[in-house]
């Protein structure tokens, strides 16, 4: 079985920074896309950023220039550096990965979520 475990959430003041980490473990053949989603109360879950195995990245417009996604393929980890945080960034952040679990099967996996609260 595969697990994604996030860490790094918390309470931060507007303008502050946080770094989220997500570690994938278990029966992993290879990892394709890795990404971060978020869900604020009363809103749908949205893609924040993703990164493919080759390193290309994609960001939602609202975080461009403030957030940076990166990955360490050797450690099966993905990170989200969040700078200049705003109250509207407050949400539960979820790690997502498209993982090849054997030669023939690829599945999407989710972490349990980590709360990010931006407030003074």
Other Cβ atoms less than 10 A from the Cβ of 86: the count is: 13
Per-residue pLDDT at 54: 85
Q: What is the DSSP letter of 27?
A: S
With H, G, I as helix, E, B as strand and everything else as coil, classify residue 2: strand
Q: Give the C-alpha separation, 49 to 34, whole Å.
A: 9
pLDDT (tens place) for every residue of the chain, 120 residues total: 899 999 999 999 999 999 999 999 999 999 999 999 999 999 999 999 999 988 899 999 999 999 999 999 999 999 999 999 999 999 999 999 999 999 999 999 999 999 999 999
- What is the structure's pLDDT at 55? 87
**C-alpha to C-alpha distance for 91 and 72, rounded to whole angstroms:** 25
Taking a C-beta distance cutoff of 8 angstroms, is the pair 2, 25 a contact?
yes
């Amino acid at each position: 079985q595969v697990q994604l475990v996030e860490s790094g959430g918390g309470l931060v003041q507007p303008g502050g920074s946080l770094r989220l980490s997500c570690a994938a473990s278990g029966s992993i053949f290879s990892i394709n896309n890795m990404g971060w989603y978020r869900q604020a109360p009363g809103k749908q879950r949205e893609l924040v950023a993703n990164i493919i195995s080759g390193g290309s990245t994609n960001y939602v417009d609202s975080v461009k220039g403030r957030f940076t996604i990166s990955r360490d393929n050797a450690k099966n980890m993905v990170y989200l550096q969040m700078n200049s945080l705003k109250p509207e960034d407050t949400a539960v952040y979820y790690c997502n990965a498209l993982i090849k679990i054997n030669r023939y099967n690829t599945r999407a996996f989710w972490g349990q979520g980590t709360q990010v609260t931006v407030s003074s």
